[in-house]
Amino acid sequence: MRSPRSQPRLADRVLVAVALVLAVFGIFMIYSAGAVELPSQATGAWRRQALWLALSLIAFAIAVRVPLRWLEWAAPALYGGSLLLLVAVLVVGSGVGGRSWIRLGSMSIQPAEFAKLGTVLMLARLGAGRRPPPEHLWDLWPYAAAVLVPTLLVMAQPDLGTATIFAVIFLAAAFWSGLPIHRVVLVVSPLVSLALAFSTPLWAVFFVFVVAFVIGARPLLSEAVLTLAANVTMGVVMLPLWHSLAPYQQARILAFLQPEVDPQGAGWHLIQSRVAIGSGGWFGKGFGEGTQKRLAFIPEQHTDFIFSVVGEELGFLGAALVLSAFAILLWRVLRQAERADDRFASVLAFGIFAMWFAHVAQNVGMTVGLTPITGIPLPFLSYGGSFLIVSFLAIAILERIALEERSGA
Amino acid sequence: MVEFTNALRETRRQRARAMKALVAGLLLLLLTTLFRMQVLKHSSYALQSDENRLRAVPIPAPRGAIYDRAGRVVAENIPGYSVSILPASLDSLRAALRALAPTLGLTESGMQSVIEKYRHYPGRPVTVEGDASFAEVSAIEERRADLPGGIIVEATPKRRYPAGPDAAHVLGYVGEITEQELARSEFAGYEPGQLIGKMGLERQYERWLAGRPGVRYVEVNAVGRIVGEFRGRRMRPPIPGRDLHLNLDLELQRYVASVFPDTARGAVVVLVPSTGEVLALYSAPSFDPNAFVGGIDPALWRSLNTDPARSLFNRAIAGVYAPGSMFKLALAAIALAEGDATPETRMPIPCRGALLYYGRVFRCWRPEGHGVLGLLDAIKHSCDIYFYQLGLRLGLDRLVRGAREMGFTEATGIDLPFEASGTFPLGREWYDRRYGPRGWTNSVVLNLAIGQGENAQTPIKLAQFFSGIATDGSLPRPRLARSLPAEWDRDRIPGGSEGRSSLREAMVRVVNDPGGTARGSKLQGWVMAGKTGTSQNPHGDDHALFVGFAPAENPEVLAVAIIEFGQSGSRTAAPIVARILQRYLDGQHPDARPPAAPATRVAAGENL
């Protein structure tokens, strides 16, 4: 194997180009989001984001030089380090409605974002090695354990949205590691039960289907018992769990279910976001001209709701271009996961794919009212240093995978 | 490096394909959702976005001016300022009110009422001070940077009534529309905060005078703070109200106010008997309608409302009084018309000062009695004994029918709001209902015959009735607005022109004969016909009434004056009417006035 360090040329130019274009475009949108009549945190945020982008590129330049084998070797340490940060944030963290940030001088980082990548690395390492692919649900226990720890730590902040991302990463690893497809269905079923727990009749219907599927799929008896128990627990335990949620979390979920019930309260964000996007029309109100944005009707418009600003100012065309860019990005990552000969690299790429996919689907979905409102940023566009750095580290890893595949081929 | 088995490689290929489908599916789902919102439902969202950020601020329309018959201004607009608040929230409204309180001198209760208004109509500007002084406005503008947002200072046309209290009841006043008024169909299309006529002509001709307020838009941010004027949408300019021209003679109106006794309560109506044009209409005590401009001081409002003299009450059209002896003309008209009496007919019992009827004594106002009198002299002396007998001769049924024919149960239809109708018994059933079938006797006729009892008329009604006697028997509709066409209720006074001329002759004797009850109130150079009246009332001294018109043979002007607790029509009411008619006729005929005849003022010692 030749040293990749002597080959500074990019192996996947499309991937890096799309990421860079999105990040620079993001700085422009953050600038626009800060041009408001009501001074807020968004004012001047674009400068800080530009600084974060510079840091991200430095991180990229360093990380792209790290061989995959080193990464595989260091994965448990990186994972453990990110868990330590998650514990630290519970002790010294700050934030609104919870502890999610660690202040470092004038900047602050969000350990949960780093933990996402750390967990993906850990799962990739578990999926590598010489073990055969998991065949039974019980073979997934190392994956489950590796995901459960950061999930519980994140829920303690509390940050429900990020916890769901960890769940997605777990499912992705199980799916990509080669678990038989009917068992993937068994793994997914408790999550569907969780979603349907709000309506007992709906859940009951679903449960009948699960029972039928379990009988048809003929898993081990213990797997069948585990699956049904998990479904019952999710379906029944949901209501007490609901009452244990913080009021703002309850409000957000309720607002998602029925935004018009309380237009001044929890539904406000969603309605204003929809009005912003809908009023954009074909071509938008023009860069910097969004009235919903300028008059601060859009909530969190430089972070979670940056896509609403895109929709309002650049219209359907602008929004479609951004979504297309994400589609290209996800396509390229998926392609690498599929083509990688190395199992560690493949699971790693697929984990990154799943993370970004979940972020884009959830974030854009919430701005138009398809998904509940959570604090999940839009990759590369939303203001926020931690996830930008994490994303560029991910790009660096993917670039490294492409590089090693090419040189190894 | 750990490589894949072929089976695993195949699994991954399949699953990657599924994931690509998932990515495509997500892209498609999001694009269709965006297309539906941004393209298909764009106009609805664009409207919501505008509604979010634009707030309508009404631009008041200048009310039409009001002019008297000579073109003199009786109500006009002068430049003024108003201060209102378009608050983001209740808290910001409170903050703005606290900040403005020292400058505008707001009281706690005043601030509370502004907050109430905001609660009822959030999202609209609320008026804090409708009549701010230039000094107050400058103080606000100087401190603008330190004040909370949402304070709107505007140049607003301000109502002014140059005649002040002299014409208050007839003009009325304007004030902010109330919630109850907004709910009425009469004010359909009106908006909260708008000024409307509350009384008098301002109310009667509200739609004519008001015009239509315009609207402009301000842009507000998410917390409701005004960010700036919005120029994108065309503002709607206000449409000014139309001017109103009156039959009222402002100079005469002021004269009436000046001759009315200062502390007395009562009313004066002056009109042209042949046309119903109202020349003056005065009610005492009066108030200053200018005090209502920009919102009346609550303390003043309370005192006006609890005032025992009820100065807001327009006695000229809504005060009801027993017409007293003035009603004897109505009785005489019926008798003449029905042939029960001629001008010279005498009654069987001469006046000895009292009459015994079924064991009850009915007295004449003059204890010494009047002796034997014909009808016209009975009017001149206002002899009660004569009219008791005339009333009995006509009987209750004919008396009631005649009074109804002459309109004593109707309102005149003057173009002013809140006119009261006259009250008059409607017949035997009416008494039965009121007092029970055996609760009354025929002696009610005696009371009715001299204008007492269950008979209550407004000054404007009496003026209309005597206009019929003074002219051709038609009742003219009293009219304040010049544009209102003349209208008559034809032939309501029975007895024909001969009968009416006899009645006029009797009324001339009342003023001009040595024995007449109003002989002290002759005009100089003109012959006035008149009739005194005394209205008994349970609250104190009798009310004094007088009606007069002149010149007697071809009346140009007629006036009714009522002075509450004035005791004697001849002593207190008649001289006022005489001065008013004298003034009006002299003004109308500056050259025609004949040389003054030596005034023979006889001390008016008689009642009635």
CATH number at residue B199: 3.90.1310.10
- Computed over every residue of chain B, the mean pLDDT equals 89
Give, for B363, the enclosing helix (H) or strand (E): strand B360-363
Domain region containing B346: 251-287+312-588
| Cβ under 8 Å to B: A residues 342-381 | 342-344, 346, 353, 357, 360-361, 364-365, 368, 370
User: Looking at the structure, do residues B241 and B359 belong to the same domain, yes or no?
Assistant: no
Cα distances (angstroms) measured from residue A391 to each of A57, A60, B35: 10, 9, 29
Q: Which residues of B touch A370 (CB under 8 A)?
A: 29-30, 33
Could you tell me if B90 and B205 lie in one domain? yes
Neighboring chain A residues of B8 at a CB cutoff of 8 Å: 133, 178
Q: Which of A38, A278, A370 sits opposite B45 (nearest CB)?
A: A278
Looking at the domain assignment, is residue B429 inside a domain?
yes
Q: Which residue from B383, B373, B301 is spatially nearest to B343, judged by alpha carbons?
A: B373
What are the catalytic residues of B?
325
B235/B367 same-domain check: no
Domain ranges of chain A: 4-408
Least confident of A24-28, A53-57, B383-387, B533-537: B533-537
β-pairing verdict for B126-132 and B73-85: antiparallel
Say whether residue B69 is in contact with chain A using an 8 A CB cutoff.
Answer: no
* pLDDT at position A256: 58
Whether the CA torsion B103, B107, B112, B113 is positive or negative: it is negative
Paired tokens of B179: 């919630």
This model of the complex carries an ipTM of: 0.90
Q: Residue A258's pLDDT band (boundaries 50, 70, 90)? A: low
What is the pLDDT, as a whole number, of residue B570? 75
Q: Would you call A380 helix, strand, or coil by DSSP?
A: coil
Q: Could you list the beta-strand ranges (E) of B161-308.
A: 174-176, 195-197, 214-220, 226-229, 244-245, 266-271, 278-284
Neighbour tally for B337: CB within 10 Å: 18
B150: left (phi > 0), else alpha (psi -120 to 50), else beta?
left
Residue A337, min C-alpha distance to chain B (Å)? 8
Q: Closest partner residue to B34 among A277, A337, A346, by Cβ?
A: A277
Phi, psi dihedral angles at A45 (to 5 degrees): -65, -25
One domain, residues B282 and B196: no
CA distance A3 to chain B (A): 16
Clarify whether residues B187 and B261 are in a common domain.
no
The answer to whether the Cβ–Cβ distance between B23 and A327 falls below 8 Å is: yes
B54 CB near a chain A CB, below 8 Å? no
Of A178, A316, A327, the CB nearest to B34: A316
Residue A302 or B64, more confident: B64
Task: Return the residue in A1, A275, A301 with the most chain B beta carbons within 10 A, the one to mutate for interface testing.
Answer: A275
Q: Tell me if chain B has a CB within 8 Å of the CB of A48.
A: no
Q: CA-to-CA distance for B219 and B150, rounded, in angstroms?
A: 11
Using CA atoms, how far residue B395 sits from B246, B340, B389, in Å, is 43, 11, 10
Tell me the pLDDT band of A16, cut-offs 50, 70 and 90. Answer: very high
pLDDT, one tens digit per residue, over A97-156 is: 567 788 877 778 899 999 999 999 999 998 877 677 888 888 889 999 999 999 999 888
Is B38 in Cβ contact with A278 (below 8 Å)?
yes
Q: Which residue has the higher pLDDT, B593 or B342?
A: B342
Residues 107-146 on A with a CB inside 8 Å of B are: 128-130, 133
Mean pLDDT on A212-231: 88
Closest CA to B586 of B252, B229, B203, B95: B252
| Domain shared by B110 and B201, yes or no | yes
CA distance B193 to chain A (A): 25
* SS3 label, residue B125: coil
Coil vs helix vs strand at B483: coil
Interface contact A228, partner B, CB < 8 A = no
Q: Please name the residue ranges forming H helices in B105-245.
A: 108-120, 134-142, 168-171, 179-183, 200-204, 206-210
Rounded CA separation A39/B238 (Å): 36
Residues B256 and B233 occupy one common structural domain: no
> What residue in B sits closest to A313 (Cα-Cα)?
B38
What is the dihedral sign for C-alpha A148, A154, A158, A162?
negative
Q: Is some CB atom of chain B closer than 8 A to the CB atom of A278?
A: yes
- B33 CB within 8 Å of a chain A CB: yes
Residue B121 vs residues A327, B57, B86, B345, B431: alpha-carbon distances, Å: 49, 13, 11, 71, 51
> Residue B594: pLDDT band by 50, 70, 90 thresholds?
low
At residue A220, φ and ψ (nearest 5 deg) are: -60, 150
Does a structural domain hold residue B606? no
Q: What's the confidence (pLDDT) of residue B74?
A: 96
CA of B207 to nearest chain A CA: how many angstroms apart? 38
B403, part of any domain: yes
Q: How far is C-alpha B463 from the chain's CA centre?
A: 17
Q: Given an 8 Å threshold on Cβ–Cβ distance, is B27 in contact with A323?
A: yes
d(CA B197, CA B210): 8
B387 and B455 co-located in one domain: yes
Query: Are B404 and B396 in contact, with CB atoms under 8 Å apart?
Result: no
Q: State the pLDDT at residue B300.
A: 87
User: Chain-centre distance of CA B435, in angstroms?
Assistant: 34
Tell me which residue of A50, A46, A23, A24 sits closest to A36, measured CA to CA.
Answer: A46
Interface test with B, best of A1, A36, A37 (most B CBs within 10 A): A37
Q: Is residue B26 part of a domain?
A: no
Whether residue B237 is preceded by a cis peptide bond, meaning omega within 30 degrees of 0, is no
SS3 B561: strand
**Tokens 């017949």 belong to residue:** B427
Claim to verify: residue B155 and residue B193 sit in the same structural domain: yes
Which H or E run includes A102? Answer: strand A102-104
Quick check: A337 contacting B, CB < 8 Å? Answer: yes
Residue B34 forms part of a structural domain: no
Q: What are phi and psi of A268, to 5 degrees?
A: -55, -50
Chain centre to alpha carbon of residue B467? 22
- The answer to whether residue B501 sits within a structural domain is yes
Residue from A126, A338, A404 to probe the interface with B (highest B Cβ count within 10 Å): A338
Compute the average pLDDT of residues B290-310: 87
What is the count of structural domains for chain B? 2
Question: B108 lies in a domain?
Answer: yes
Instruction: Give the pLDDT band of residue B600 (cuts 50, 70, 90).
Output: very low
What is the distance in angstroms between the Cα of B125 and the nearest Cα belonging to chain A? 19
Nearest to residue B405, comparing CAs of B451, B460, B473? Answer: B473
How far CA B325 is from CA of A277, B266, B517, in Å, comes to 83, 18, 11
Decide: pTM greater than 0.95: no
Q: Is pLDDT above 60 for B493? A: yes
What distance in Å separates the CA atoms of residue B410 and residue B419, rounded to the nearest whole number? 10
| Shortest Cα distance, chain A CAs vs residue B169, angstroms | 48
B8·A178 Cβ contact <8 A:
yes
CA distance A351 to A330: 11
Instruction: Answer whether A268 touches B (CB < 8 Å).
Output: no
Under a CB-based contact definition with an 8 Å cutoff, are residues A78 and A121 in contact? Answer: yes
Q: B92 vs B55, B85, B118, CA distance in Å?
A: 16, 10, 11
- The answer to whether residue B188 neighbours chain A at the CB level (below 8 Å) is no
- Same domain? For B226 and B339 the reply is no
Q: Which of B323, B325, B299, B303 is nearest to B312 (CA)?
A: B303
Residue B555 covered by a domain: yes
Full DSSP string of A53-92: HHHHHHHHHHHTTS-HHHHHHHHHHHHHHHHHHHHHHHHH
Same domain, B263 and B371: yes
Task: Place A253 in a pLDDT band, splitting at 50, 70 and 90.
Answer: low
Is there a contact between A334 and B16 if contact means CB atoms under 8 Å apart?
Answer: yes
Query: Both B226 and B259 in a single domain?
Result: no
